[in-house]
Amino acid sequence: MAKYDYDKSVLKGLTTKDFMNQVKVRQSHIDAGSTDEPKSVYGPNIIAKEIHPEYVEGLIVKKIPTPAGCVYIVAPAKEKGFDELPPFRAGQHVTVQLDMPDKYTKRNYCISSAPSAAKGEHGFYQLVVSDHGPGHASEYINNTWQEGSIIRFSAPAGETYYDPIRDSRDVLAIGVGGPSMALCYDIIDGNADVNLFAIVLIPMPALLGLTGIYQDVADKSGGKIGFIPVLLNGEADGVEKGPVTAELLKEYMTDKETGKLKDMTVLLTCPDPICSMIEAELKKLGVPQRRIRKELQGNEGSVFEIPSYPAKRAVKQYSLKVWARGECTTVTCDSDKTIASAVEGAKIRLKTSCRSGHCGMCHTRLISGEYYTPESTDGRRQADKKFGWIHPCCTYPLSDMEIEVFPER
Ligand code: FES
């Protein structure tokens, strides 16, 4: 076999000098080219932008006060150039931007209306904002959002939805209304071929009337939807009482004919620490992790309660140097508050979506300092950890720190 096995006839006439000149020839072609930046417009990018716009502005067309908070009907804000709302999957949320007097922050609210109701120019989302009392973002929303208000939010996102390729057709939804209501409507619309059983968590007896809406969808579902209310505090006749234990779960997850546990996908749509407690009960029953879909909506508990928290458990204040677009702001951050909350307190508009460490939207560069990220909310890739990137939505300072954030415009 020849040392260089190729057709040498194509090189006929070319000399070594020609080869040596190639660099010069190429450079002359580059120099003769246009200096305009190439414009790349790809069809899939245009569609992706329509389906997942960076943000949407919506008009509140109806505000309905309820004993537990307020229900908002949100239409596209046509005067702001939004003719339609982006589509969503039952169970997804929007992240609402809140410019509060003392901070710029965001909160996630699940869309509790039918995905089909969002379509077209008359489409709408229904958002339920439960009252969590003074000082919470929900108090600010329910006091300030009125009919006619324009609100700004992200395109729908989140993982707590039913996927026919991935999930069992028998679905158990545990939590408060939003995500499972949207799935109920999808079932009634014939868009989701699912048998849904909902364990509806009710905080107190006075709110038991809220289950009327489940009764309504169950009646229309032809046997595909069932539910029970579980009272978390107080007592009422004929109602299961919380907490949600393995024993209670077993009762509703067992196939009455075979006596075996059904293979169910479980959608956990409640805040922590309730969510983690129920997950632990599901594990006791042997429910595999791949069947549990949950989405934390921000860490509600105290970081000091987490056993792996490394420092002495007392509130300390640390200084954070925050770089954003070349400018440095210094803020203080209590050791039991997330870095995101301190940055937002300085009215820097941090990009966030899940606010629970998993989506990567708040991706931030660590310049110096020590920090703590709970394992349960540490969704960073290995490379991010290695090269000094943090998710401030679920990260707490353990020393003074210097970081660089990439805020919204
Ligand atoms: S907002 Fe999702 S990781 Fe921080």
pLDDT tens digits, the chain, 409 residues: what are they?
556 677 777 777 777 888 788 888 899 999 998 888 877 788 888 888 777 888 999 999 999 998 889 999 999 999 999 999 999 999 999 999 999 998 999 998 999 999 999 999 899 999 999 887 777 889 999 999 999 999 999 999 888 899 999 999 999 999 876 678 999 999 999 999 999 999 999 988 988 888 888 999 999 999 999 999 999 998 888 889 989 999 999 999 999 999 999 999 999 988 777 888 999 999 999 999 999 998 765 555 688 888 889 877 788 999 999 999 999 999 999 999 999 999 999 999 999 988 888 889 999 999 999 999 988 889 999 999 999 999 999 999 999 999 999 998 7
Do 329 and 272 belong together in one domain? no
Please indicate, yes or no, if residue 392 is contained in any of the structural domains: yes
Distance 103 CA to ligand 1 centre (A): 18
Q: How far apart are CA 328 and CA 354, in angstroms?
A: 26
143 shares a domain with 227: no
Domain boundary, last residue among 153, 186, 218: 153
Cis previous bond, 243, omega within 30: yes
In a domain, 149, yes or no: yes
Alpha carbon of 302 to ligand 1 centroid (Å): 18
Q: What is the pTM of this model?
A: 0.81
Mutate which of 362, 373, 381 for ligand 1 pocket (most atoms within 8 A of beta carbon): 362
- 222 shares its domain with 327: no
Report the domain count for the chain. Answer: 3
Pocket of ligand 1 (CB under 6 A): 352-355, 357-362, 391, 393
Distance from the CA of 362 to the center of ligand 1, in angstroms?
5
Backbone φ and ψ for 119, nearest 5 degrees, come out as -75, 145
Whether 255 maps to a domain, the answer reads yes
Beta bridge partners of 94: 109
Same domain flag for 264 and 176: yes
Which numbered atom of ligand 1 lies nearest the CA of 357?
A: 3
Do 289 and 174 share a structural domain?
yes
Shared domain check, 184 and 113: no
Tell me the best of 93, 159, 341, 358 to mutate to test the pocket of ligand 1, counting ligand atoms within 8 Å of each CB and taking the most: 358
Q: Are residues 321 and 369 in the same domain?
A: yes
Residue 211 lies in a domain: yes
* Contact present, 196 and 180 (Cβ < 8 Å): yes
Asked, for residue 162, whether it belongs to a domain, the answer is no
Range(s) of the domain holding residue 66: 48-153
> 220 and 315: one domain?
no
Instruction: Look at residues 266, 294, 322 and tell me which one is the last residue of a structural domain.
Output: 294
Sheet of strand 195-202, all strands in order from the earlier edge strand to the far edge:
240-241, 225-231, 195-202, 170-175, 265-269, 292-294
Q: Specify whether 369 is located in the same domain as 284.
A: no
Among residues 331, 45, 279, 44, the alpha carbon closest in space to that of 172 is found at 279
β 56-66/150-153 pair status: antiparallel
